[in-house]
Amino acid sequence: MAEKLALVGIGKIARDQHIPAINANPDWSLAAAVSRHAGVDGIDHFQDIDALLENRPDITVVSLAIPPQPRFDYAAKALRAGKHVMLEKPPGQSLAECFTLEQMAKEHGVTLFATWHSRHADNVPALKAFLAERTLKRLKITWKEDVRRWHPGQEWIWEPGGMGVFDPGINALSILTEILPYPVHLTGATLEFPENRATPIAANLDFADPTGAEMSAVFDWRQEGPQTWDIDIETDRGCAKLSLGGERLEIEGAPATQGANHEYANLYARMAELVKTGRSDVDLSPMIHVCDAFSLGRRLTTDAFHF
């Protein structure tokens, strides 16, 4: 029998990704939506999480596709009510919030899934397998996109907790922490803050690799035209390039392997597996790198940003 699921937050990412993935998976039944401004045809609509929990006790799973700032309160209420919870990335606005939610899920015997959709891109597993058999020499992340295209008018991303350019940048970090056979740590960063904003619009990161490889990342939210989501890799036995955020992979000069956009379908398949087996999945390693960037980063002021 399909699990009854409530989707909280009916914005662009919910309509583009969450709803199609839920409806395509027989393990799920989209039973309710929670949003102050929008609903989904054919299902119950509630203004807040309290109304959902009061009126639909039959719903067993809550998926949160809202900005990180209010997410903790919503997740905590759902966990306390005995609901399984799925968190859109980033899982919270602070590590402490995430640790608290993880402990709450254990105490209430329910599943908590901190999702990283870019890890589930089609060609990430192949790149992970490639690196497992080689010695890394150089890794360069280039993640540049147009904030006006992907977050039109969304002021929350520029507020504390919204993460600024790390909202997309954390996708690259989720791939990095998945494909490497060992952990790495940040050694330094420069963060460019628009003079009228509280979060950065660009960032340059440097990492320490235990094998001595050169490793860095460039994030920028000012790129117009074609968008860039690339990871370039050099090893002792050939090179690889992951592009389109993980949909395309070229290894050792071979023609690129082209995937499709299955990330959210894979997320909901993973959530179904976790619920069935009574487990949680809360890997916070990508967010640790972001927090370290804010801690170690040198702040630079750049031109004001306006939508």
Name the residues annotated as catalytic.
89
**Alpha-carbon torsion (150, 151, 157, 162), positive or negative:** negative
The two tokens of residue 45 are 């609509």
- What is the rounded (10 degree) CA torsion for 213, 214, 220, 226? -80
Mention every residue, 6+ apart, whose C-beta is less than 8 A from residue 171: 89, 116, 117, 118, 143, 229, 245
Q: Please give the structure tokens belonging to residue 125.
A: 């597993």
Q: Are strands 28-34 and 3-8 parallel, antiparallel or unpaired?
A: parallel
Q: Spell out the alpha helix ranges (H) of the chain.
A: 12-13, 19-23, 49-55, 68-80, 95-108, 124-132, 147-150, 166-179, 263-277, 285-296
